[in-house]
Chains A and B, each alone.
Chain A
Amino acid sequence: MSAQRDLLRFITCGSVDDGKSTLIGRLLYECGLIFEDTLAALSRDSRRHGTTGGEIDFALLLDGLEAERQQGITIDVAYRYFATPRRSFIVADTPGHEQYTRNMATGASTASLAIILVDATKGLLPQSQRHSIICSLLGIRHLVLAINKMDLVGFDAARFSTIAAEYGTFAESLGFQDITAIPISARQGDNITSLSSNMPWYRGPYLLAHLEAVDVSADDAAKPFRFPVQWVNRPDARFRGFAGTVASGRIAAGDTILLAGTGMQSGVARIVTADGDLPEAVAGQAVTLTLTDEIDVARGDMLVAPSARPETTDQFAADILWMGNEPMLPGRDYLLRIGHAWTAARVTSLRHRLEVTTREHQAARLLEMNDIGLCHLTSQKPLSFDPYAENRATGAFILVDRFTHETVAAGMIRHGLRRATNIHRAAFSVDKTVRSARYDQRPILLWFTGLSGSGKSTIANLVEEALFAAGRHCYSLDGDNLRHGLCRDLGFTPADRVENIRRAGEVAKLFLDAGLIVLGSFISPFRAERQMLRELVGAGEFLEIHVDAPIETCIARDPKGLYVKAKAGLIPNFTGISSPYEAPEQPDIHLKTGECSAEQCAEQVLQVLRGKGIAC
C-alpha cells in the first residue's frame, strides 16, 4: 500500500435501468471487495428479487432498503467503499428516478467526479441530461461518460461514437474540465477492470484505470484562507481556542487574520491539536486556533486572510435546487445554513427557472421539488461567502423549513447584490419614539387571522371604533381593500398570498413607525407568514388574534357569497375549500365567533389592550 494513497469520491448517475448499481457491484466484485458470505446472501436475494434470471444481480448488493429491492429501483444514495493499491474510493450510487433527484444532488455535493451512464440501446435521455446539469451546477468538473450495454448493440463502434459526439455537443457549455467516454458492459465486465477483447477498436483506458489516474485535485490549499469557526473551546479560564476545519488555504502561527464581516484583526498564536502544536495547517485539517487578541469570536463566524476577504452582504444571487415537498414561495422565510452560521432568509425574487433539458430560462412564480432556479435572496444577518464557483466550501448553503425542519433546498451563491456595509437606513430625528410620545400611545399591530366570513373585519371595526372614541390614533388595513390598490397585481395562489402578506406587513411596519395602532384583517392562512410578520415588526409590537369560527358557520354566513362560488368550483385556491388554513397554535388572543357575539369578541380584545396599557 502506497503511503501517499489518497481518496477519490465519485458518483454514478443516469436514468433508471441504465445499470448504475450493476456497475458499482461489478467494480466491488472485480476489486475483491465482495466477500463469500455477502456473495452467498446476494445469490439468495437474486433468486428471490433479481431480474437477471438466476444470475447474480449486483444491483441487489446496493439497493439496501426493503422497498428498493421489492420495486427493483434505487431510492436513496448508497455509499460504497473500495480501494486499489493506487487509490481509495468512495462511491455514491445515486437514484435515477426524477422524484429522487434531490438525493442525486446530495451525492454530487461531495463528489469530485461523476460517471454518467448512458444505455447504448436507448441513447441520451432527458434524465441523463438533467443529471449532467446538476453535476455541473454542484461544481463537479471531471466526467466519465460510460456508454453501457455495449453487448446489446453488438459492441458497435459507430453507435459509441454517435452517442459520445451527441453528448459532447450537449455538454459543451457545462464547464466540465474533462469528459472521458468509455464503452462498457457492466453486466459482463467489459472495459471495467481490464480492456475488453470485444471492443478492439477502443483505444482509451478501461474504467478503473481512468479512475485511478485522473487528476481531480481542486487545489483548495492554494485558495485564500477560510476558517469557519465550529466550536469555541474553553475548557478553563486559561484557554480559549477556536475549533474548526480549514475550508481553504493555509494558515501558520504568527499569521494575521480577520474576522469576516467586522474586519476585526488579530494574529494566530498557536495551532493546537492533540498531537502537538502545528507550525502550519492547510485545507481539510481539523485544528484549534488560539489568537493573540481577546476578540469576540463565536460559532458561525469566519476567520479569513486579510489580503483576500470574502464578500459580506445580506443580499445575494444564488442557484437554488428545490428539494422540499411544498413548493418554494418567494417572500416566505426559511432557515439558512452557510458554514456553521444559521440565519433567517427569504427569496425576494425568482429570476428564472431552468428548463433542464432545453436549458431555457423560463419565467416562474415558484419552484417545485427538483426544480432549479436563479434566485435573489435576502438574509436577516449579513453573510460572508465566496462565489460557489470559486469555493465550494464557503459558497454553498442549505435552506430548512422553519416548521417541519425539512431540508428544502441546496443553494450555490453566484455573487452579492450589494455590499451590506453600504446600506444605511436613513435616520430621522423625529422617530417612532417621538411620534408615539406625541400621541401618548404605544404602537402595536393587531393581526386578525381566520377564514373568510369568520368575522375579522367586523370585529376589527368595532375595536377601532372603541379605540378611536378613546382618542387613540389607529389605522385599519384590510385584505380586500389592499387588493384594490397596492396588491392589485396579485392573485390567490400560495405564492401570491405570501407576497400579499409581505406587502401588508411592510405597510403596517411603516404605520407603526408613524406611531399608530394598526389593525390588520387578513385571512393569512400560512403559519410561516404570520411568524414572518411577528419578526418583521418585532414580537413586542405584534398581537396575533385568531378569529375562529367553524367552517360550517362561515359557509352559513357567507357574507360575500364566496363559499357558494368556491364550492361550485368557480374560485380556485379558496381557503377552507380548496386551499388549507393553518390555524395558529398559540395565538395571543383566541376569539370563538361561533360562540360569542362580535361585540363580546371586540371587548375581549379591548380587555387585553387595557391590560397592556394600550386602550383605556
Chain B
Amino acid sequence: MPVQQRLTPHLARLEAEAIGNLREGAAAFRQPVLLYSIGKDSSVLLHLALKAFFPGKPPFPLLHIDTTWKFKEMIRFRDGIAERLGLEMLVHTNQEGLVRGINPIASGSALHTQVMKTEALRQALDKYGFDAAFGGARRDEEKSRAKERIFSFRGPGHAWDPRAQRPELWSLFNTRIHQGESMRIFPLSNWTEYDVWDYIAAQDIPVVPLYFAALRPVVRRSGTWIMVDDNRLPLEQGETPETRMVRFRTLGCYPLSGAVESAATTLPDIIAEMRAARSSEREGRLIDNDTDASMERKKREGYF
C-alpha cells in the first residue's frame, strides 16, 4: 500500500499545503536555503522537501547554525543525514562569538542565544546571499509565532516588524522583495506538535534518538534534568551526575535543554505520553522564559 494512503485526510492536507509552500519558495526566490536545526520539525521539513521536488532533489542547500553546544548525538545525526541524502549541508558558527568566549553557561542563555544563534544566522544569510529561508517553526509553539505569516517578510538587517506584516490572502503569497530584503518561509505553520509526531510515525521519518527515553547522565537544575553531554558542564558543589531514564521533547543547546523522566522508547509511546501531557513542549526550553515577550523580541532581531 502506498504510504500516502496511511495518512489521515487531515495529515494529507497539511502535507499538500507544506509541499505547495516549499515549491513556491523555490520558484519565487533567487537563492533559497532550508534552515536545518536537526530537531523533529526540521526532520519533517526535510522529508517534505524531498517529496516536493521528487524525482529531483531540493533545489537549495541546508544550513545549520552550530553554536558548538549541541548534543553530540545531534551532530552525528546531522552529518549522517547529509551524507545519506547527498545534500549540501552548510554549517555556520559565529567565530567572533567563539573568540569572545560566549557560551550558554557563563554568558547566560539570553546573550548566548543573541550572539550564537540570532547573530550567527544573520551572518550566514548575508555571507551566502540567501533571499529566502525555510524554517520548521509552527504557530502552535508560542503566541507571537501564532501571529506570523507563512511567508514572513524581513526588512534590511533581517528584522521582523510584527505591526507591518503583509496580509496573507488565500494561498496567493506576495513574494516580492527588494535587494537587501528577504523572506522567511514556514511550511509547517499550520501543524501542531501532535501532527508532527503522527506524521513522523506514518512516514517512518528518522529522528535524533534523544527524543526516545534512554539511560542518560543527568543533573537536576531549575526543576528540570540537564544532561551532562560532555565535560564542559561545570558541576556545582555537591552535584553528581546520576543515570536516569529520560528523553527530550525539544532539542537545542544541551545546557539549555531540559529532559523529562520517561519510559517512552518507541514512537507510539511518545505519542501516548504527549497526549497525556499537561505542559507545552517549550517548557523544557530555558531560553523562552527570560521575559514576558522574549520570543517576539528575539524574532524582531532576526531570530527564527
Contacts and interface: CB of A to CB of B under 8 A. Distances in A.
A235 B50 CA distance: 13
A4, A103, A245: most-surrounded residue (chain B CB, <10 A)? A245
B146 A396 contact: no
A7 interface: yes
Contacts, number: 171
Contacts of A340: 24, 27
A604 interface: no
Contact of A79 (B26, B146, B165, B167): B146
Interface string A75-107: 111111101000010100000000000110110
B4 interface: yes
Interface string B151-192: 000000000001101111111101011100000000001101
Contact of A230 (B24, B55, B176): B24
Contacts of A45: 292
Interface stretch (A58-66, A116-124, A482-490, A549-557): A58-66
B143 A64 contact: yes
B167 A103 contact: yes
B163 A75 contact: yes
A398 B172 contact: yes
A284 B146 contact: no
A143 B171 CA distance: 22
B254 to A, nearest CB: 21
Contact of B20 (A275, A286, A400): A286
Contact of A4 (B8, B171, B174): B8
Contacts of B8: 1, 3-5
B19, B142, B293: most-surrounded residue (chain A CB, <10 A)? B19
Interface string B271-285: 000000111100100
Contact of B26 (A81, A231, A236, A239): A231
A273 interface: yes
A4 B147 CA distance: 29
Nearest to A229: B27
Size bracket of the A interface:
35 or more
B56 interface: yes
A233 B53 contact: yes
Contacts of B143: 61-64, 78
A407 B279 contact: no
A90 B192 CA distance: 10
A103 B168 CA distance: 8
A235 B4 contact: no
Contacts of A6: 9-10, 13
A335 interface: yes
Interface in A385-412: 392-393, 396-398, 400, 405-407, 410
A69 B279 CA distance: 23
Nearest to A45: B292
B298 to A, nearest CB: 13
Size bracket of the B interface:
35 or more
B169 A79 contact: no
A77 B149 CA distance: 9
B16 interface: yes
Contacts of A397: 172
Interface in B208-253: none
B201 to A, nearest CB: 12
B86 interface: no
B57 interface: yes
A76 B147 contact: yes
A572 to B, nearest CB: 30
A288 interface: yes
Given A4-B8, A273-B54, A405 B189 contact: no
B172 A337 contact: yes
B144 A65 contact: yes
Contacts of A245: 16, 19-20
Contacts of B56: 233-236, 239
Contact of B170 (A109, A244, A284): A109
Nearest to B139: A79
Interface stretch (A31-39, A465-473, A584-592): A31-39
B213 to A, nearest CB: 20
Contact of B176 (A36, A65, A405): A405
B9 to A, nearest CB: 5
Contacts of A523: none
Interface in A278-320: 278, 284-286, 288, 299
6 nearest A-B residue pairs (beta carbon) = A235-B56, A64-B143, A274-B54, A274-B51, A286-B19, A286-B16
Interface of A: 1, 3-7, 35-38, 45, 48, 61-67, 69, 75-81, 83, 88, 90, 102-103, 105-106, 109-110, 230-231, 233-236, 239, 241, 243-245, 272-276, 278, 284-286, 288, 299, 323, 335, 337-340, 392-393, 396-398, 400, 405-407, 410
25 contacts: A4-B8, A37-B279, A37-B283, A48-B292, A62-B143, A64-B143, A66-B292, A76-B162, A77-B147, A79-B189, A80-B139, A80-B146, A81-B140, A230-B24, A231-B26, A235-B55, A235-B56, A241-B55, A245-B16, A286-B17, A393-B170, A396-B170, A405-B174, A405-B178, A406-B166
